């Protein structure tokens, strides 16, 4: 749908207004909407941010090959969905993520603020847990219940 005002751009802002009993629907592009003072620029959707970012990167091909060793999510999958697969992705994709985080968070990539009461989860333990959970899911799928039981015990032992 085209913007009703400039008739050039795609309408992304949809408004319902009622003037003198008449319901009026207006469809504007972001620029015209901003000019009429009805909206602000929305947060850039993560997918768009990602697409632009990857295109700009010279090493885009290298980045596309990144895959998380824990959960198997590839950077491309993340790029398409905007969602990461597991906590380890943050390290696996660090090279690509840091510039992205900086763009989304006013230049920051270092957390400030509270941390978990328990002093932060031990990352190595976190990794082990994720790996074991994954193996367990596979074992259950293959109906290898002996292995599953063993894995379940190991997970239990790691649990707080």
Partner 1 sequence: MSKIDELARKTGEWLRGGGPLSEVVISTRIRLARNLAGFPFLSRCTEQQRNDVQKLLKEQIERLDLGQELFYVDIDQADELDRLVLMERQLISRQHAEGEGSRGVGISVSETIALMVNEEDHLRIQVLRSGLGLPETWDEIDRIDDMLGASLEYAYHQRYGYLTACPTNVGTGIRVSVMLHLPALKFTGQLDQVFQAARDMRLAVRGLYGEGTEAVGDFYQLSNQTTLGKSEGQIISEFEQILPKVIDYEKQARQALLRDKLTSLDDKIWRAYGMLQYARSVSSEETLFLLSHLRMGVNLGRIDQLSLKTVNELMLSTQPGHLQKLRGERLAGEQRDAIRAEYIRQRLHGPSEN
Which residue, 64 or 87, has its beta carbon nearer to partner 1?
Answer: 87
14 binds partner 1 (CB under 8 A): yes
Taking CB under 8 A as the rule, does residue 61 contact partner 1? no
156 binds partner 1 (CB under 8 A): no
- Beta strand ranges found along 5-153 (DSSP E): 13-19, 22-28
134 counts as binding partner 1 under rule CB under 8 A: yes
Number of other CB atoms surrounding residue 99 within 10 Å = 13
Binding region for partner 1 (CB under 8 A) out of 3-11, 55-63, 75-83: 75-83
- Pinpoint the alpha helices (H) of 30-122: 30-35, 46-56, 60-64, 75-81, 89-92, 94-104
Q: Per the structure block, which two tokens stand in for 57?
A: 């990167």
Q: Are 85 and 71 a contacting pair, CB within 8 Å?
A: yes
The alpha carbon torsion through 144, 149, 151, 153 (nearest 10 deg) reads 180
Q: How far is the CB of 62 from partner 1 (least distance, A)?
A: 19
Q: How many CB atoms lie within 10 A of CB 76?
A: 14
Q: Which of residues 29, 84, 92, 151 is near partner 1 by CB under 8 A?
A: 84
Residues 103-122, mask of contacts with partner 1 (x by CB under 8 A): -xxxxxxxxxxxxxxx-xx-
CB of 59 to partner 1, least distance (A): 19
For residues 81 and 98, give the distance between their C-alpha atoms in angstroms, rounded to a whole number.
Answer: 18
- Binding residues for partner 1, per CB under 8 A? 13-18, 21, 23, 34, 37-43, 46, 70-73, 81-87, 90-91, 97, 100-101, 104-118, 120-121, 123, 125-126, 129-130, 132-134, 137, 140, 155, 158-160
């Amino acid at each position: 749908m085209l913007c009703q005002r400039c008739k050039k751009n795609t309408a992304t802002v949809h408004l319902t207004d009622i003037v003198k009993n008449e319901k009026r629907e207006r469809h504007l592009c972001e620029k015209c909407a901003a000019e009429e003072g009805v909206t602000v620029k929305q947060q850039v959707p993560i997918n768009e941010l990602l697409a632009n970012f990857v295109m700009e990167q010279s090493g885009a091909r290298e980045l596309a090959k990144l895959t998380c060793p824990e959960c198997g999510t590839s950077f491309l999958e993340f790029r398409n969905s905007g969602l990461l697969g597991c906590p380890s992705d943050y390290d696996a994709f660090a090279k690509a993520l840091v510039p992205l985080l900086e763009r989304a968070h006013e230049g920051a990539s270092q957390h400030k603020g509270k941390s978990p009461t328990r002093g932060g989860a031990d990352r190595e333990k976190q990794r082990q847990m994720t790996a074991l959970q994954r193996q367990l899911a596979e074992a259950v799928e293959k109906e290898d219940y002996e292995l599953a039981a063993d894995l379940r015990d190991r997970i239990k032992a790691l649990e707080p």
